[in-house]
Structure formats: structure tokens, C-alpha cells
Amino acid sequence: MFSSAWNFIKRHKKKFIFTGALIGGVYLLGKYAQIKFREIQEREATEYIAQARRQFHFESNQRTCNMTVLSMLPALKEAIVTQLNSESLTTLLKSKPANKLEIWEDLKIISFTRTIVAVYSTCMLVVLLRVQLNIIGGYLYLDNSVGKSTTTLLAPPDVQQQYLSSIQHLLGDGLTELITVVKKAVQSSLGSVSLKETWSLLELEQQLNWIRAEMEASSRRSLSWYLLADDENVLADQACGLTENDIMTIKLLNETRDMLDSPDFTTVLKACLNRGFSRLCDNLAEFFRPPPGDSAPSCGPDSLSAVSLPLAKIIPIINGQINTICSETPSHFVQELLMNDQVKEFAANVYETFSTPQELQK
């Protein structure tokens, strides 16, 4: 019995060797596949956790952006009102001065100028802070990343403070220049318009559009100039005494300027301005409603021309809009800018760019 079994094995020895090798190979291949599969699972889990952490940090950063915008609106409003003080003119008018008409003419120009400047500067503030805080946010994410290859911080606290202080240009020299350009456009469009002339809501909207078009066409600078000064030039003048923080700040400012000069930034800012002026007209529409019982249409295209008001009555309405535009409590005006889809997408792209390690960008 044993001899016959042995003879059978000898006759089929090659088959047994091949089968054994095949079974062994399959076993080893299976073990290798299990190891690789486990490595893939672990890598995917690590990537998922990193992506979830990155998304959480991004969303937290956007909430910080929103709160920062709201916290800076009072300072922006104060800066505008200080340079375009209509309140002193309305106080003068109450005293019935001899040059009443002259004061009304000044009030006309100042009221339209400060409301239009408020729209521009608020839109600029929203988009500029989105750029700055997402550049900083991206670098902070990298600074706190697990497995970071270097201990050198990309955005130390002192650099953050120095870099973010550049927003003061928009509230200072940039705002002053913006007021000059807008005021010139307002004077050109409204300087000869009588206070007794009546406008419908549609005609008022057309006037605002004309002023905006003239301002943007006549300005010698791009809109981005009003947002950021050439601060790196000031620091570069002290080249021999530049600190490491100064050099890092210059780098951040240059990266910011690259963003502000990009077509995407221009598109997003224009979208915000369109939304801002549209919301302004929606706010003004509340003052052009027909009185109760009037047969004039209260909605639809015809309603835009149904009610007309003399310019003298429109001026106080326009003058008060800054309180809504630059409100520190979330108004419809500010909320629509903060929640704008194009602003959100642009912010995500900026954050993505600056939160990706440089070696992965190459």
C-alpha cells in the first residue's frame, strides 16, 4: 500500500511541486495584498482625517473673517463720516441761514458721495479681509500641521500683526483718495441738477449707475490700489536694518498684491459691488412705495416709476443709508456680501493655495 502510494507520488512529482509552489505563491500574494490593502486603508484614513481637520480649520477661519468685518465696520463708518460730515450741514440748515441754497447744494454732493463711498469701501473691506485672513489662515494651518519638516513658523504672531495692520490704508489714505474720485464723479453728474427735480426709483438707480460708471472710468488707478499701500517699499528703504519679521511681512504683502491684481479678485470685487448697489436700491425702494389706498402698482417693473420724489426729499434718504451699509449688527447689506457664493469660492481658493505645502505645489 505504501509502495504504491510512493510510486504515485514519484510519477506525479513535478505536478506536486508545481501545485505546492502555486499554493505557496498564492498564499504569499494574499498576505502581500492584505498588507498593501491595510496600508492603503491607513493612508486613506490619515488623508481623510487631515482633510477633515483642514476643512474644519477653513470654516473656522471664515467665521473669523465675518466677525472681523463686522468689528471693523464702525471704524470704517467713523472714517467716512469724519471726512464727509453732513451732520454739520443739517445742523446749519436748522438755523435758517441766508446761504440756505448753497448749504443744500453741498449737502447734496456730500450725501451721495458718502453713501457711494460706503458701498465701495464696505465691499473692499469684505474682499480684502477674505484675502488677508485666508493667506494667514493657510500658513497657520501649515505651522500647526502634524509632521511638519521645519520648526520655522511661516506666520509668527508679530508678523501677523504687522501684516494685518496694512488694512489701515483702506481706512486712511486709500479712503481719502476714494472719496476724492467719487466726489468728483458725483459733482459731474449731479452738480447742475435742481433740488426741485423729481426722480422715480428707476431714475435714481440710473443716476447711481452713471456715477459709478464715471468714477471707475475716470479713476487713474485700479480699484485694488485703494486697498493696499506700497508698504513693502517703506520697509525696503530700511534695507540694511530689515529684521527677519520685516522680510516675512514683505513676502505676505507681495503675495497679497498678487492676489489683488489677479482677474479672479477683480471679478469677485465687481460681483460684490453689483450686489451692494442692488441692495442699496432695494433699501431705497422702501421710501418710494405708494401711500395706502393709492392705485399705483406696488410691485413689478411699473412700480419703479410709480412714485417720484423731489431731490430735496431724496437727499436725507440717501444721507442716512450709511447707517445700514456700515452697521456692526449684521444687516441684509453686509450679510449678502459675506454670504456671496463667489466670495466663498474665492476664499476657498486662496486658503487652498496657502495651506498646501510648497513641495506639493511644484
Q: CA 164 → CA 144, 250, 297, 327, distances in Å?
A: 20, 12, 50, 22
C-beta separation of 250 from 236 below 8 A: yes
Is residue 6 included in any domain, yes or no?
no
C-beta separation of 224 from 263 below 8 A: no
**What would you report as the CA-atom Rg of the chain, rounded to the nearest whole angstrom?**
32
User: What pLDDT score was predicted for residue 188?
Assistant: 93
User: What pLDDT score was predicted for residue 278?
Assistant: 95
User: What pLDDT score was predicted for residue 238?
Assistant: 41
User: Range of 181's domain?
Assistant: 66-290+305-360
Is residue 116 included in any domain, yes or no?
yes
Is residue 51 included in any domain, yes or no?
no
CA proximity to 77, closest of 118, 107, 133, 135: 118
Is residue 9 included in any domain, yes or no?
no
b/e burial code for range 228-241 (CB count within 10 A of at least 16 → b): bbebbeebeeeeee
Is residue 346 included in any domain, yes or no?
yes
Report the distance separating Cα 204 and Cα 29, nearest Å.
78
HEC string for the chain: CHHHHHHHHHHCHHHHHHHHHHHHHHHHHHHHHHHHHHHHHHHHHHHHHHHHHHHHHHHHHHHHHHHHHHHHHHHHHHHHHHHCCCHHHHHHHHCCCCCHHHHHHHHHHHHHHHHHHHHHHHHHHHHHHHHHHHHHHHHHHHHCCCCCCCCCCCCCHHHHHHHHHHHHHHHCHHHHHHHHHHHHHHHHHHCCCCCCCEEEHHHHHHHHHHHHHHHHHHCCCCHHHHCCCCHHHHHHCCHHHCCHHHHHHHHHHHHHHHHHCCHHHHHHHHHHHHHHHHHHHHHHHHHHCCCCCCCCCCCCHHHHHCCEEEHHHHHHHHHCCHHHHCCCCCCHHHHHHHCCHHHHHHHHHHHHHHCCCHHHHC
pLDDT in tens, the chain (362 residues): 545 555 544 555 555 455 555 565 555 666 665 665 565 555 554 454 456 676 777 788 889 899 999 999 999 999 999 999 999 999 998 888 888 999 999 999 999 999 999 999 999 999 999 999 999 998 888 888 755 556 678 888 888 898 989 899 999 999 999 999 999 999 999 999 999 999 999 999 999 999 999 998 877 778 888 998 865 555 454 444 578 888 888 889 999 999 999 999 999 999 999 999 999 999 999 999 877 666 555 555 555 567 899 999 999 999 999 999 998 787 889 999 999 999 999 999 999 999 887 654 54
User: What pLDDT score was predicted for residue 170?
Assistant: 93
Q: CA 266 → CA 67, 185, 224, 277, 288, distances in Å?
A: 23, 21, 8, 16, 33
Is residue 331 included in any domain, yes or no?
yes
Is residue 229 included in any domain, yes or no?
yes
User: What pLDDT score was predicted for residue 219?
Assistant: 72
CA proximity to 327, closest of 122, 186, 161: 122
Report the distance separating Cα 10 and Cα 290, nearest Å.
109
Instruction: At 151, list the grid cell.
Output: 520648526
Is residue 199 included in any domain, yes or no?
yes
CA proximity to 252, closest of 228, 224, 269: 228
Stated pTM of the model: 0.82
Tally of domains in the chain: 1
